Amino acid sequence: MPYKEKNIEKSFFSIGEVAKMFKVNTSLIRFWENEFDELKPFKNKKGTRYFTREDLKTFQTIFYLVKEKGYTLQGAKEKLKSDRLSVEKNADIIRSLIKVKNFLLDIKSEL
């Protein structure tokens, strides 16, 4: 039986890794952490932030509302409180469509 390499998924992400994923500055992440009660990463004794996958999903939802939909911070807070499930669903759909678009663009470039 051939050897299969296991996919190892990280449980925690540093603020730098999150910033790189979303192409934002770490200061924006810290600022949103203070503004949004939903975004509370784990901090060790030194104060180093560690984000879980759930934190990433929350950050992505906030990012979707503020950066992609153009909500103000107050508007995003209100939208999250009133209709969070719908917002998360829309953000997931957008993310899936972007993946499909990038996949199709990759295929097109190989033709």
Spatial distance between the Cα atoms of 48 and 27, rounded to a whole number of angstroms:
14
Full set of structural domains in the chain with CATH: 13-110 (1.10.1660.10)
Lowest mean pLDDT among 2-11, 31-40, 98-107: 2-11
Mean pLDDT of the chain: 87
In degrees and rounded to multiples of 5, residue 16 shows phi and psi of -65, -40
Cβ atoms of residues 65 and 77 within 8 Å: no
Whole-structure pTM value: 0.75
pLDDT at 109 over 60: yes
In degrees and rounded to multiples of 5, residue 75 shows phi and psi of -65, -40
- At residue 14, the pLDDT reads 92
Spatial distance between the Cα atoms of 33 and 42, rounded to a whole number of angstroms:
11
User: Residues 46-90: pLDDT tens digits?
Assistant: 989 999 988 998 898 899 889 888 999 999 999 888 887 888 888
pLDDT at 1 over 80: no
- At residue 15, the pLDDT reads 93
What's the order of all strands across the beta sheet hosting 13-14? 13-14, 49-51, 42-43
